[in-house]
Amino acid sequence: MFLDRLKSFVPNPPMESRSEKIRERIERHRLGLPSEETVKKRRFSRSLVIINLLLLIVMIFVFRRPVDRSYHTVGVEFDRTLYRLSLLRDGRSDGYRASLSVESVGGEAKTIFFSPPLAVLSIMYDSEEIERVEFGRSTSRLALHPGETRNFSNRIPAEGMEKFGREHPDLLVPPRRTIFSRDQYIPLKARLTVNTAGRITTTLDFKYEVDR
């Protein structure tokens, strides 16, 4: 009696609805069509594949971003004068465009004397010099008005850095490349020496990206 009463409270699906579903399954089977459950699974699988592909593309772009910014700058102030070195990666080659600005920051006119050249820039790995360029090769005297800035520029060729990279593959970071690894680079430094008042020196660290 108790089971009969319990069954009376459990709703039974309409017979017509169940019969209709059965007929649909039989008809799909007769026509060679997959079942609704199979279609749902295929849709889910396709969506999952698309999501995985999108994630893979995003990961590749994230891990393949440039190693370092193409623009680097550092400055040093001495005797109310600011010397600022800037390095810009040359988009047409693997070299860099180096520029040196000399700015009077003391609010007064002044004259600076140099032992030509005005400054020397050395590209180095530890204590080994790879490339060397000069600013103001014939400049021995520079007169600046208050707040005035004078600019000097030179190109750092890529040949020396390329040769250094070929001769020292053990210095590449990371040492091995995978599909997700960033581009390899060599940690270098640019040392600027200004030839005035006993020589002023400042150093800029940067990463030279190697195309291998």
Say if residue 96 is in the same domain as residue 199.
Answer: yes
pLDDT of res. 180: 55
Which region holds residue 119: left if phi is over 0, alpha if psi is between -120 and 50, else beta? beta
Say if residue 22 is in the same domain as residue 88.
Answer: no
With the C-alpha atoms ordered 94, 200, 119, 107, is the resulting torsion angle positive or negative? positive
Say if residue 16 is in the same domain as residue 114.
Answer: no
Say if residue 87 is in the same domain as residue 59.
Answer: no
Say if residue 48 is in the same domain as residue 76.
Answer: no
Domain that holds residue 147: 71-209
Give the integer Cα–Cα distance in Å for 43 and 154: 60
Q: Is the distance from CB of 101 to CB of 128 less than 8 angstroms?
A: no
pLDDT tens sequence for the chain (212 residues): 544 554 454 555 555 566 676 666 666 666 665 666 665 555 656 666 677 677 666 555 554 544 445 789 999 999 999 999 999 987 656 689 999 999 999 888 999 999 999 999 999 999 999 999 999 999 999 999 999 999 999 999 889 999 999 999 999 988 766 655 567 889 999 999 999 988 899 999 999 988 65
pLDDT of res. 164: 95
Quote the number of domains for the chain. 2
Model pTM? 0.66
pLDDT of res. 70: 77
With the C-alpha atoms ordered 44, 50, 52, 58, is the resulting torsion angle positive or negative? negative
pLDDT of res. 25: 66
pLDDT of res. 67: 44
pLDDT of res. 198: 81
